Amino acid sequence: MRTPFLPMLMLATLPFTGALAQKSTKPATKAPAYSAVGKKVQVFTTAANTTHRLAATGELRFQELRQPLETQPTVFVDPTHTFQTLVGIGGALTDAAAETFAKLPKAAQQEFMQAYYSPTAGIGYTLARTHINSCDFSSGMYTYVADNDQELKTFSVKHDEQYRIPFIKQAIAAAGGKLPLYVSPWTPPAWMKDNNDLQHGGKLRPEFRQAWANYYVKFIKEYERQGMPIWGLSVQNEAMANQRWESCLYTAEEERDFIKEYLGPTLKKGGLGDRKLIAWDHNRDQVYQRASTILDDPEAAKYVWGIGYHWYENWTGSDMLFGNVKRVHDTYPDKQLIFTEGCIEKFSLDRVSDWKLGEVYGRSMIEDFNAGTAAWTDWNILLDETGGPNHAQNFCFAPIIGDTRSGKLLYTNIYYYIGHFSKFIRPGAKRIISSSTRDVLQTTAFRNTDGSVAVVVMNTSDKPMDFLLWLKGQAASTTSLPHSISTFVVN
């Protein structure tokens, strides 16, 4: 539920939960022995009040240190125990992003694609989301069928062929020809709903459950026919949010029954049973109740790949509830967790340089990964200078703002903060332990398939923090700058 953004409390006022979140009821996998002797550490940093933006800021060397003292701030890294495998990190390819992209000059378009999808010159996105029918980040509302066409004979994605489909195809090409894409509906057609309205919640009418299940299959097959393979899908975006834009409501029991009686069997019958089906796709606050209701039913659970979630639970005045994500992981370790959406709301062009924007992302990504999350997807990858277009006037921030007046791209620090994960932690990487002895240093770490170790350390305080990066009896001395995020790559 996207609602006015509430500023995050500074880390120094919060209990540090990162180390706790790394423990799971599913035993860690024992990895081969690891030695840091002779290894070098490349350091990449983004920091406030500096020119550092994903900048190479030095190289560290290890020295033997068997036992750090309690007076020596330390980040302990253990690559010999592994947890979840990373699926990917990326952002949503919405109508708003596609329309903004189309208004930019060719040079800016090329810069944009390289910035997101090049693993060397950019931040190497490896995952994408898009919407079925319109969403609030569309210029107007639409569906793909004529009214009352229960047999879907009029089904057509012609609307998407103007902006969104060409945009998605360019993103796939920029990513090297492979970009796992999953799709989410905001609402069924109005005539399928009990309020006869695309907006304002409403529920799917029982007599149209099969037609709606068929709709997903039609969409996926048509996108694939046009050259966009679909990796997965969620059942419903924000199934508890009655919004003034496109929305549809399901209780946990209704979503469970729709999955097991209609959507799951229909995907299987349509030859799409291997697509990754994601349940919930809403906030962390109710994620456990939704997951348990669906996954405790074997007939529903057999169709579900994982549980998706958003970060907007702070609309209630709550802080972000990372512990609820961990509870799902601990209870259902054989199902995946995927962060499906997050953004910072109430856009203002005057705030594009606000350093807090990126720090919200850094904190969420560290905590979500430590809670067992296997994939992480930002919301719009591009918006214009108004924070739109958005037909509901629900304007938000994106990592990159396309100023359609000047034709230039404006990079918020969100882009760089996400890049500290997506650029250095690649699909197939396994999370390992990274345990900090100071609450001012938030951290997570992964071991990539090439054997390299990537350790992310974030400092949201106003002071620098000297610390030791410690791996199996070897330590390297370094400093975390105020309001900074660094990735330490051990080769």
Q: What is the pLDDT of residue 9?
A: 29
Q: Is the dihedral of CA 392, 396, 401, 405 positive or negative?
A: positive
Give the residue ranges of DSSP H helices in 230-280: 252-258, 264-269
Query: Residue 75 phi/psi, 5° resolution?
Result: -110, 110
> Of residues 246, 255, 313, 341, which has the active-site annotation?
341
Look at residues 31, 21, 125, 132 and name the one whose alpha carbon lies nearest to residue 81: 31
Q: What is the pLDDT of residue 29?
A: 80
> Of residues 99, 238, 313, 359, which has the active-site annotation?
238
Q: Is the domain covering 40-84+432-490 a CATH 2.60.40.1180 domain? A: yes
238 classed as catalytic: yes
* 367 membership: H or E segment, kind and range: helix 356-370
161 classed as catalytic: no
**CATH domain 90-427 topology:** TIM Barrel (3.20.20)
Q: How many residues in total does the chain contain? A: 491
Give, for all 491 residues of the chain, the pLDDT tens digit. 444 333 332 323 333 333 333 434 556 787 778 999 999 999 999 999 999 999 999 999 999 999 999 999 999 999 999 999 999 999 999 999 999 999 999 999 999 999 999 999 999 999 999 999 999 999 999 999 999 999 999 999 999 999 999 999 999 999 999 999 999 999 999 999 999 999 999 999 999 999 999 999 999 999 999 999 999 999 999 999 999 999 999 999 999 999 999 999 999 999 999 999 999 999 999 999 999 999 999 999 999 999 999 999 999 999 999 999 999 999 999 999 999 999 999 999 999 999 999 999 999 999 999 999 999 999 999 999 999 999 999 999 999 999 999 999 999 999 999 999 999 999 999 999 999 999 999 999 999 999 999 999 999 999 999 999 999 999 999 999 999 999 999 99
| Strands of 66-174, DSSP E | 74-85, 88-92, 127-132
With H, G, I as helix, E, B as strand and everything else as coil, classify residue 351: helix
- The two three-digit tokens of residue 34, written as one number: 């690891």
Domain boundaries defined on the chain: 40-84+432-490, 90-427
Name the residue with tokens 């979503």.
255
Q: Is the dihedral of CA 62, 66, 72, 73 positive or negative?
A: positive
- The two three-digit tokens of residue 297, written as one number: 């039913």
Q: What is the pLDDT of residue 32?
A: 78
Look at residues 338, 342, 315, 458 and name the one whose alpha carbon lies nearest to residue 398: 342
How far is the CA of 51 from the CAs of 56, 125, 409, 413, 446, in angstroms? 11, 23, 18, 12, 27
Which pTM was predicted?
A: 0.93
